[in-house]
Structure 1
Amino acid sequence: MERIEQLRKFLADSPNDSFLKHALALEYIKLGDDVTAKQLFEELLAADPGYVGSYYHLGKLYERLNDNDAAISWYEKGMQVAKEKGEQHAYGELRGALEELTF
């Protein structure tokens, strides 16, 4: 919880910092609080759709919540953004997650 409190404090000072929101969402996943993590990832991607790393984690979260349609949608959105930004590694990870889920 100490890490979460520290990240929240940093976010209070920099509320639009995508890295901090991403890190906070990952901390909530570690605690098993997928609802809060999902909210943070979705807020982050609504404000900063170019933050490619969050698409993978949000897709995996939806898989855990047994919402494969939403997971597929987030993987596909992430692949499009990664392709546009020329981030081949992220694209490959997202494609791998999508293929694992759909095949």
Structure 2
Amino acid sequence: MIDASYAIWAIVGMGAVTLALRALPFLAAPWLRRYPVIARLGHFLPPAIMTLLLLDTLRGASTANPASAWQELLAVAVALGLQWRWRRPLLSIAAATLLYVVLRGSG
């Protein structure tokens, strides 16, 4: 059996490492802004990562249930359309998610 103090210190250590890793980008931001490569990556990487996540999700969802692939594609189209028109990520994500949940719940 694991000693209670060992478990507590292990959890505290993991929490400290997690907090440090999450704070690091904010602490390093002023220093990193001086480099044009970092600025370019800041504009290029978020859409690229979101695209990869989207494609992986669509691939997994369509393989799991091929008959309902239209639901995922419709939600993606709504998200893309709203984002293109209003450039409000929260609106795009919320509306597409709500549509997807409604479509999955009704069909």
- Normalising by structure 1, we get a TM-score of 0.26
Greater RCO, 1 or 2 (C-alpha within 8 Å, sep 6+)? 1
- Normalising by structure 2, we get a TM-score of 0.26
Structure 1 or 2: more helix by fraction: 2
